[in-house]
Every structure is written in structure tokens, then in C-alpha cells.
Homo-oligomer: A and B are copies of this chain.
């Protein structure tokens, strides 16, 4: 039973494997090596350390009972040996040893193992452009970088920042710069939206608008070409313009750190993930792997990919420990649940966005709703736009997105959705899902159920919606689209401003008067029915269909969505 277990990597999956295994098999001799001096930290907390929410980097590597997780802690509390500043250079699978280099003493050593665990994580991508290596360009790769960034900020000499990359880390860093330090911050993203692939464009637009409202400039579809230094400041030049900056963050994604595995002859995917089976064994049965460095299986599609999330690393570490202890646990796969805070809002998704589902080959469609998170008479209620992505043929729910205020309202719907999506659930499963209800927490028909109902209406062909991009194009220049007309069914207080602005292209008839005034609605035009949430519009669409006026389209989510994105044509008094 006194097996030698060697673990390469001491941040998340590695320590989790070690500690769990020591509990399961107290006689195991467990050693963790890591090339860094700091281990077992919560890397996802770095933006909160930089912002100042977390005052000391030690808090990011402390337990909930305030013990710092350093080598001594692992030795005393866990019975696990840790060697930091120790780099694994190569694996000799035949003799079952790992050649290590002590980065302080420069001495090499061959560490023997019975079972090996590779938990080498990921490394940030660097764009190969001139200036990428300049001193003012930081990557969010480890705690040392975070400390260096914060020291720079604390000197008070940072007035402007550029963040290259509109992914989660870039956005969180931009918030910490702008919110806590008052730095003029610009995000530059290569793709035509921030959070590309993760969420669809409407969701990215809602987030962009909120960032802009809070002073963060968001530039999309711009490619950074060069970074130049001039004294203590820098110029970031894109294919379109130049930006001054005192500090630059490069956060353009990560890739698995798998060279060690590859050089040892283990199978590594084309994308660089270490290939493992469900028990997280590599192609060498004596070597396991877990964390950001492995290839994962998508539970929705079966597709292989990478899922660099600290939460998954912890789950995977537990599975490795189980298998090393003889418990046949499996890690079945991922749905890629994601949530983030940005100033006063949160945004999250699970499964596939519409874009990524279509790219995956699904016959996919989506609906968007704008329902309240709790009873409309409850003081704190607010609208949380939810989107459901589904397969039109199988009715399988492929993904789910949410946007809302900084509370756990979106989280609740997201986690419930993830639970079902991971089980291959259909739209009907979501309709029947029993969400807990009381007025302070939800509406009688929860927003998640309501979204599934809307998806069912869409699948049945009863609900026909206008594509957001089409609608926005039309509204940017309505007079060029004579075949379309808006049917605004909101209260006259709300619709009159639009009628004043858009004249004959805007037909305001309040919802409760539609049945009486149906003859006023043209039958030779595509009526775009507009309300605040889309719900009433759908009712009116059903009614128009029933009276032989079948050409209407509904603006899904209604003006609650439009208000959350930036448009030029919004009327003002």
C-alpha cells in the first residue's frame, strides 16, 4: 500500500489529488513538485486581488480558516511533501522516474514514482507581435504577475490601461482597473464581439454596453499589430488606430501545458490537451492527468475540447485520487458552465451558444426572454434576459445564457440548466423542471420554465421571431424598409415617443385594444410586434394568425433587450 505517488503541479488539481488520496490511502507517499514558489492558490481570484477587494495575495492561497497553504502546511496538516521551485524536465516511463531541476540550486534529480499525476495546467497565449515582451505588458499567468501588476498600480503612475482580449479574464481585469483604480481602460478584441464563442452577440452587446457605461471602452474587430515603448508609457497600435497606455494586459486565451507529456510519448490531442480516459488515465496506465492540461469531452455533443476551469480541476483531482486508491470513479465530461461579474451585472452561460452550436453542425435555433427574476410586486425584482439554444429536430437543449444584476438570480437558472443539459435534456424537461417558488425568489412560472415554454412555442411554429441583427439594421434606417412596420402594443405612454420619431412606420395599438382594433393592422406588410418582454407580442401573433394575418414577427425579449444594448435610434424627449 505504501506506493510512491508523484504529482507534477501544485495549483489546483495536484493538491486536490494529493489531499484526497492521503485520506483514502494514508500510507501512500505523496510528493508534489511545482516550478513556482507559490502553490495551491485560487487563480480566479487574481482580478479581485488586483482591484483591492482582496488585500493580500496570501488570501488567495489560504484555507477558509486562514491557514496559508504553503509547503509546511501540506507537510504538517496533510502529510504531503511539496517541493517548490522544482521543475519536471522529463519523464522516464520505463524506469518510472521524473528528472527534476531545482531552480534555486540548479541541481538535477531523478524522482521515482509508482504512479504519476500530471497536473501542469495551462499557459497564457502570447500574440507574436513586436513589443509583446516589453516590461509593461503583463499576462495573468500566476500570482507573481498579479503582485507585479498591483505594485505598478500602487505607484500611482498608471493613468491609462489597454487590455488585449475580451474574454473573461480581460474583462475582469478591465473592471478592476477602472472600478477601483479609476484608470482609463480600453479592451481590444479581435473578434466582432467580446466573450466570443461563449455567448451570442446579443449577450456580448449587453455586457459591452454595461462596460461602456462604467467607463471601459470596448473595441471589437480590431487586431493589435504592435506595442511600442516611449519612456514609461506605451503605444498599442491596431489595424485601425493607436492607444496610449501605461500598462498593458494580454489576455488572449490559454493553451494546455502538455509538452512534458508529449515528450514522454503520451498521446496529446491536436489542440494540445493530454488525452485521458474517463478515469483520467493517460495512454500510460501508470500516469494520470487532471486540470487545465487535459482534453475534455463535451457532454452535450461528445466533442473533445479544453475546459480550463478551476472548478473542474478540483473535481478531476478527486477522480484521480479515487482511482489511485482503487475506487473506480469517473469524470464523464463537461458542459462548460461559466459565470462572471462585471461591475453591477453578471453574465453566464452553459452548453453551446447558438453560434457555436451551428458551428458544431446542429440544426440549432434560439429564443430569448425578458422575464422577472422574482414576483413583479416584490421590491427587488428585476428582469433577467435568458436565452435557450436547442436542436430543432431532437428538441435537445444545447445551451443557455443569462444576463442580470449582480445577484445569484442568473446563477440559479444557470446551475439548474446545466444540471439538465448535462443529462441530454429536451425542451420538455425544462418545461417540467420544478423550480422553487416564493415571491421573494421567483415568479410562479419561473423565468427558466417560461423560456422553455417560449422555445416550445417556437418549435411548434406558433412563435416566429425577427432576428436581432435584422431588426437593428432596419431600425438604423427604417425608411429604407417599406415592407416592414412596427406594431407597438405597449402603453401609449411608452409608444408615443416612437410614433413621434418613426411616423407611419410605427403603429401603436395597446395590447388590450388589439382585438377591437384589429382592422387597423395592415395585412400587406410584415408587422414587427413589439412589447417589453415579447410575451404579449406572442399572444398578438397568435391572434393575428387566427384572423388571417400570418406575416407578423415578434421581437423576442422586446425592448427590455434593446434597452440593455446601445442603439442610436432610441427616441429622446
Question: Which of B348, B536, B545 is close to A65, meaning CB atoms less than 8 Å apart?
Answer: B536
**Interface check A338, CB cutoff 8 A:** yes
Chain A, 63-97, CB within 8 A of any chain B CB? 63-65, 67, 73, 76-79
Whole-angstrom CA separation of A42 from B53 in the bound complex:
41
Question: Which of B334, B377, B490 is close to A59, meaning CB atoms less than 8 Å apart?
Answer: B377
**Interface check A103, CB cutoff 8 A:** no
Chain B residues closer than 8 Å to A567, beta-carbon distance: none
Question: A543: nearest residue on chain B (CB-CB)?
Answer: B26
A73-B512, A415-B412 given; A436·B491 CB < 8 A:
no
Could you mark each residue 40-65 of chain A with 1 if its beta carbon is under 8 Å from any beta carbon of chain B, else 0? Answer: 00101100100001100001101111
Complex contact B406–A444 (CB within 8 A): no
Complex contact A44–B439 (CB within 8 A): yes
Chain B residues closer than 8 Å to A226, beta-carbon distance: none
Chain B residues closer than 8 Å to A73, beta-carbon distance: 512
Complex contact B435–A415 (CB within 8 A): yes
Whole-angstrom CA separation of A441 from B406 in the bound complex:
9
* Copies of chain A in the complex: 2
Complex contact B515–A339 (CB within 8 A): no
**Interface check A190, CB cutoff 8 A:** no
Whole-angstrom CA separation of A42 from B377 in the bound complex:
10
**Interface check A420, CB cutoff 8 A:** yes
Whole-angstrom CA separation of A379 from B59 in the bound complex:
12
**Interface check A408, CB cutoff 8 A:** yes
A377-B60, A437-B309 given; A315·B415 CB < 8 A:
no
Chain B residues closer than 8 Å to A23, beta-carbon distance: 462, 538-539, 542-543
Question: Which of B42, B62, B418, B533 is close to A439, meaning CB atoms less than 8 Å apart?
Answer: B42
Complex contact A434–B53 (CB within 8 A): no
Whole-angstrom CA separation of A413 from B419 in the bound complex:
11
Could you mark each residue 273-292 of chain A with 1 if its beta carbon is under 8 Å from any beta carbon of chain B, else 0? Answer: 00000000000000000000
Chain B residues closer than 8 Å to A350, beta-carbon distance: 434, 436
Nearest Cβ on chain B to A171's Cβ, whole angstroms:
11
Nearest Cβ on chain B to A522's Cβ, whole angstroms:
20
- Contacting chain B: which of A246-254, A263-271, A445-453? A445-453
Complex contact A436–B44 (CB within 8 A): no
**Interface check A511, CB cutoff 8 A:** yes
Complex contact A377–B45 (CB within 8 A): yes
Chain B residues closer than 8 Å to A420, beta-carbon distance: 419, 423
Chain B residues closer than 8 Å to A462, beta-carbon distance: 23-24
Complex contact B438–A44 (CB within 8 A): yes
Question: A450: nearest residue on chain B (CB-CB)?
Answer: B314
Chain B residues closer than 8 Å to A543, beta-carbon distance: 23, 26, 79
Chain B residues closer than 8 Å to A63, beta-carbon distance: 376
Question: A412: nearest residue on chain B (CB-CB)?
Answer: B412
**Interface check A442, CB cutoff 8 A:** yes
Could you mark each residue 299-337 of chain A with 1 if its beta carbon is under 8 Å from any beta carbon of chain B, else 0? Answer: 000000000011111110010000000010101101111
15 contacts between A and B (CB under 8 A): A42-B375, A42-B377, A42-B439, A44-B439, A76-B512, A77-B511, A79-B515, A311-B437, A313-B444, A337-B434, A337-B435, A338-B438, A412-B412, A416-B418, A422-B433
The 9 closest A-B pairs by CB, nearest first: A26-B546, A408-B408, A311-B437, A419-B419, A415-B416, A412-B412, A339-B436, A337-B436, A23-B542
Q: Given A350-B434, A408-B412, list of 19 further CB < 8 A pairs?
A: A12-B444, A42-B439, A44-B437, A48-B377, A54-B377, A65-B490, A65-B511, A67-B512, A77-B512, A77-B514, A309-B437, A310-B444, A313-B444, A315-B431, A327-B460, A407-B407, A416-B416, A416-B419, A419-B420
